[in-house]
Structure 1
Amino acid sequence: MTPITPVYEAQASATGGRDGRATTSDNKIDLKLSPPKEMGGTGEGTNPEQLFASGYSACFLGAMKFATTLDKSLPKVPADAKVTATVGIGPRPDKGFGLKVALSASLPGIDRAEAERLMHAGDEICPYSHATRGNIEVTLTVA
């Protein structure tokens, strides 16, 4: 494991588990949590998979932008670029639950080969990608 010295730390707490509340220490996030209907819940609140998908997609798009500052041969990320993260949760064959992620990038004006190269460069930089690599299935697709 490569040690890091954080330049920023976020802190959030949850009460009640999947049927509770999540808040950040600065109170910028204060969400009702509930399991999705597919998992027996009401689906009326946010769930952890939605939060993970939101964070991963935003971070991944930022990583692609940062990659272009390191490698000038990469195409610039267009202003209307969009990354969508689809996070799936389901039972594992051994025990408990597991996740899988599909990242899809819409990069208007960039040909497929260059868009794929840009996605792979972002994947090498993104801390979410580092955290998930070798732990869960993550697929990258150009939309």
Structure 2
Amino acid sequence: MFTLDQTLARDCAVVGDLPLCRLLLMNDSQYPWLILVPRQDGLREICQLDDDQQAKLMNESNLVSHILLQEFGAEKLNVAALGNMVPQLHLHHIARYAGDPAWPKPVWGALPPKPYSADALEERLARLQRSLAAVGSPLSFPA
């Protein structure tokens, strides 16, 4: 059974489930920041996925990247699987802009997160879900 790391659960809101991954929105309104987490326990590295799962992860990463580019007009994407503080395999997708608060440096540790207001979080999640539906992405919702 899949269990989301406590840190990710605390710091993120669930957008929904794609075929392989749970898609999360980082609760930091300074950046459009999405995270893919393969729904398999015990993974730390991409190479631990089998070939089919790696292909699905790449497809889902491309989907999320296109949404950040098209829906949020990202000038640059930062895509990374660091895992230094959260060992569960997860892949960050961060839309970056020349005028964002951390530019041109990495976002990690640059500034404290600015959580979304309840209304803004609800609107951002709905916008992402609509964007995924518009491209025919199979999105389900965890129980």
Q: Could you say which TM-score interval applies, normalised by the shorter chain? A: 0.3 to 0.5
Larger fraction in strand: 1
Higher relative contact order (CA 8 A, sep 6+): 2
For normalisation by structure 1, the TM-score amounts to 0.32
Q: Name which one, 1 or 2, has greater alpha-carbon Rg.
A: 1
